[in-house]
Chain A
Amino acid sequence: MFPFREYAAVLDFFSPEAKELVRSSPAFTSLPQEVLDRAVGRLLWKTGSEMVVSFSPEEVRKEVLSFFLMCQALASVSYPYSREVRLAGEKTEEVVRYRLYHLFKGYESPCLEVIRRYLRVGELGELGRIPREDLFRIRNSSLREAGILLPPESVPPQHQPRYFLPWTDLAPLLRVGRVQLTDLYLVEGRAVVTPYQLWDLFSGLMGLKCEEYVASLYERFSERKPPEVLVKVGERISSLLPPPEVELGARFPRGRLRKEFFPPCVKRALAGVGSGGRNYAITVLLTSFLSHARLPPPGRVVTRIRDLPEGFSVMKEEIIPLIFEAAERCHPPLFGDQPQEKANVYYHLGFGMTTDPRPEDSGKSKWYSPPNCRKVSSSAPFLCTPDEWCREIKNPLTYYYKRLRLEGRRDGVPKGDAGGEKEVLPGGVEQA
């Protein structure tokens, strides 16, 4: 056991212990400066001493609060799976991995207890016979992964194969490509791993949960404005980050909207809808979605399109044509009988009621965020035809970011689609 139960929270920020600590703490608006600074600084931690938390209930509380503050602050100035959020995920992974390394020698059993909440880890002895030479090879690959090349007699114990776990427990990591199935040593449905590899898998899971948590907060903040304290911390975090090595567009291309990853409601709106639903589909949903998908916040709160690099020209040359074309596809065409809706589109983009916006008009009205799914399905149920991706998201924009992230990175589907009898049925169902 750890000296006190709550210590588990420094390995698993999403544990009941961590939640309890947050519940019993003051609101974020009244946290001490020390915690605010820790929330900002934790993304820059480099040394082990910065990452380790002593066995002090107060230190544990500060650590957990600063983690949640960091997540909430990032969600208030960024967007799901942005550069900031990925860095937060990666840093969380690094911190948890280091803590496991640090704690494992003296506290293996409580560490495993925490890990077993997510991964059904067993001791290798329980598994059937594994060829001896394979055990050596697993050890060598563990050493390679750690960048260590030592003679066998001095192999640290964390690189000896000791555990197994069902490979299906790793599905979240496989889904995002953090783990490759072909890199695992699988026997009878279990992956055989060394302690070092187990730390890696568990910390990867924590990093991923951190990213998903920020995404869920983003959805919450799209319904109500985040508190000022979070915005300030979020902007401090963003300003500390090193400049991107590659333009953000390499991951989420600013120059190109990937329509294939749009949610079903947006696809429907783009295709044009019938009278009665046109205003909501075009002016409310499409306008806010396309503008925010094409112009994501750059790590600070941006309330005006003109404050974004090339924001005004992108709006005029790329976003408006898409919106107006979709309006034309409505039946009857939206602007035919409601020409004032053009001005309403610009109003929703933050340019006030105008049909000829100028950069200086930006900020005259509010730049609307995409409505949450709940709102879309209640205001325009005809737009809401959820697919399986919709199950886990609450905002159309999160849908887009999530698919960009997961499908945008997939290197195509394995070859073999030469089947001559395949045809697409209604609803995109294919036969084999």
Chain B
Amino acid sequence: MEQLAFYLKENFPFSAYVSVALYEKPSKREGWIKSELAFDVDAKDLPVKPCGCGEGQVCERCLEEARRVVMLLSDVLSSDLGLRDLHFSYSGRGFHLRVLDESVSKLEQNERAQLVSYVTGGVVPTDLAFVLGYSRVFREFCVRTLEHLPEEKLREVFPRLAKKIQEKKAEVLEALRLGRGEEIKGLVGREERLLEFLARLNSGWVDGKVTVDVKRILRLPSTLHSGVSMKCLYIRDIENFSLDQAVPRFVLEGGKG
């Protein structure tokens, strides 16, 4: 660690990253042994934004939404998938959730792709009404997605139904929470298409390509995201994380001056 700190201080790299993979020969990235399971929630790419930010834009509300999504993911990973060794970092523009449990470290791309679908509610379940398990995950993400879904986005897919869905949103959300598919059908009709649409949006809460890539590199916590002048930060308490912790001293001092 000291050597690394010394190297960074001496060389001022533009960015510093750490691999999710463990190799036999790390310098050559050869002899893959295992990989962390990583989830990347990028605030600028959220499928639905609560604040009205456009694509690629980020505000504090987007970041707060990203933090809530990461907390939801961590809940699913521990309660459903039984994973315990979860670590969070603020990446500068979003959050990384890194799972170090040995039981998932050898999983390959296909299994990781299935995990993304599970933890984001990216597939419509065969039975919506299970109290626990995947149905619960699906319902929770659908509620999150539909809550902030603007009417324009609905209109793109459901030109005739969008207005009705918007008007009955509160009832639809309640039916979703309770897993009452028939009730949703009664409210807006064509509930299957609505659920499929929400599932598609749900899968966008996480950048799936990061998760399935067993050789991905992620920004190194404690280094600077030079694109946005924020610190990439290891987070010990995700529930009470505040963005202020990630503002570098030179920015604060600059602000004072």
Contact string against A for B residues 197-233, beta-carbon threshold 8 Å, 1 for contact and 0 otherwise: 0001001111111111111111100000001000000
Interface contact A167-B218, CB-CB below 8 Å: no
Residues from 108 to 166 in B contacting A, C-beta threshold 8 Å: 108-111, 113-118, 120, 122-123, 125-127, 129-134, 138
Partner of A181, one of B108, B114, B215: B114
**How many residue pairs between the two chains, A and B, have CB atoms under 8 Å in the bound complex?**
168
Interface: A247 (CB within 8 A) = no
Residues from 388 to 432 in A contacting B, C-beta threshold 8 Å: 388, 391, 406-407, 410, 413-421, 425, 427-432
Interface contact B130-A181, CB-CB below 8 Å: no
Residue of A nearest to B55 (CB): A418
Distance A177 CA – B114 CA, assembled complex (angstroms): 9
Partner of B114, one of A174, A190, A415: A174
Distance A425 CA – B29 CA, assembled complex (angstroms): 11
Question: Among B1-9, B40-48, B184-192, B240-248, which stretch is in contact with chain A?
Answer: B40-48
Interface contact A425-B212, CB-CB below 8 Å: no
Partner of A428, one of B96, B104, B215: B215
Name, among A168, A187, A416, the residue most crowded by chain B CB atoms within 10 Å (CB to CB): A416
- Decide: A414 near B203, CB < 8 A? Known: A185-B133, A432-B40: yes
Chain B residues touching A, majority SS: mixed
Interface contact B133-A186, CB-CB below 8 Å: yes
Q: How far is the CB of A338 from chain B (nearest CB, A)?
A: 32
Q: Which residues of A contact B38 (CB under 8 A)?
A: 432
Interface: B257 (CB within 8 A) = no
Q: Which residues of A contact B30 (CB under 8 A)?
A: 385-386
Interface contact A414-B82, CB-CB below 8 Å: no
Q: How far is the CB of A123 from chain B (nearest CB, A)?
A: 17
Q: How far is the CB of A335 from chain B (nearest CB, A)?
A: 33
Name, among B82, B83, B227, the residue most crowded by chain A CB atoms within 10 Å (CB to CB): B82
How many chain B residues touch A (CB < 8 A): the figure is 67
Partner of A432, one of B79, B111, B210: B210
Interface contact B125-A182, CB-CB below 8 Å: yes
How many chain A residues touch B (CB < 8 A): the figure is 50
Interface contact A181-B117, CB-CB below 8 Å: yes
Q: How far is the CB of B41 from chain A (nearest CB, A)?
A: 9
Interface contact A182-B104, CB-CB below 8 Å: no
5 additional A-B residue pairs with CB within 8 Å, beyond A181-B111, A429-B216: A183-B134, A407-B109, A413-B212, A414-B120, A432-B218
A-B contacts, 29 of them at CB < 8 A, read A133-B131, A134-B130, A141-B127, A166-B103, A168-B104, A171-B111, A175-B108, A181-B114, A181-B115, A181-B117, A182-B118, A182-B122, A182-B123, A182-B134, A184-B133, A188-B80, A386-B30, A388-B108, A413-B116, A414-B117, A416-B42, A416-B203, A420-B56, A425-B217, A430-B217, A431-B15, A431-B17, A431-B217, A432-B207
Residues of B within 8 A of A (CB): 15, 17, 19, 29-30, 32, 38, 40, 42, 44-45, 55-56, 79-83, 91, 93, 96, 103-104, 106-111, 113-118, 120, 122-123, 125-127, 129-134, 138, 200, 203-219, 227
7 nearest A-B pairs in the assembled complex, by CB-CB distance: A189-B82, A414-B208, A416-B207, A131-B131, A181-B114, A388-B32, A185-B133
